[in-house]
């Protein structure tokens, strides 16, 4: 009887803790979107474990074959979190990323979030795909360690991200 009670208590405690971790990780995703929309460099960078956190994309096969991104010679592209937020800060157009259909798994130390995303410039969707975040819990907060994402370009455009 004690074993059943103890096992049930541990299961309830773990479920509560996992749920709390998932809510906190979801909050990190919300802050990620908010900091991009508000062009808030400090808030954006604070979400990452390190300025060197990995951020890598893979262009859809169709877009790569059709050369949808004329500046890309490779399907896989490494991104810099600091260069991205500097670009977003300096670009006068509204910038927004929206996440839907997020699945989050975690324990008290590591977490993974997998979402559909859409990226908008000046109110127009420019690309979309799936994005996966790997997170780690430090002494106080969940931090993004790496991001990988697929990207499908809505249509060939002359979007200049270096503005």
- Per-residue confidence in pLDDT tens, the chain, 163 aa: 444 343 443 333 334 345 788 999 999 999 999 999 999 999 999 999 998 999 999 999 888 888 766 666 788 999 999 999 999 999 999 999 999 999 999 998 999 999 999 999 999 999 999 999 999 999 999 999 999 999 999 875 444 444 4
CATH number of 2-153: 3.10.450.50
Q: Parse the chain into domains and list their residue ranges.
A: 2-153
For residue 39, is it left (φ>0), alpha (ψ between -120 and 50) or beta? left
C-alpha distances (whole Å) from 144 to each of 5, 74, 118 are 37, 25, 19
């Amino acid at each position: 009887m004690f074993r059943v009670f103890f096992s049930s208590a541990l299961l309830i405690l773990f479920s509560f803790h996992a749920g709390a971790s998932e809510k906190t990780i979801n909050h990190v995703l919300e802050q990620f979107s908010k900091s991009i929309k508000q062009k808030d460099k400090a808030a954006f960078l604070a979400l990452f474990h390190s300025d060197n956190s990995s951020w890598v994309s893979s262009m859809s096969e169709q877009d790569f074959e059709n050369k949808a991104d004329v500046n890309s010679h490779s399907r896989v592209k490494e991104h810099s979190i600091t260069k991205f937020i500097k670009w977003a800060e300096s670009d006068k157009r509204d910038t927004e990323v929206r996440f839907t259909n997020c699945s989050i798994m975690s324990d008290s130390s590591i977490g993974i979030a997998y979402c559909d995303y859409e990226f908008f410039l000046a109110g127009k969707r420019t690309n979309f795909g799936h994005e996966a975040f790997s997170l780690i819990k430090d002494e106080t907060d969940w931090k993004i360690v790496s991001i990988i994402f697929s990207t499908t370009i809505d249509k060939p455009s002359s979007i200049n991200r270096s503005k």
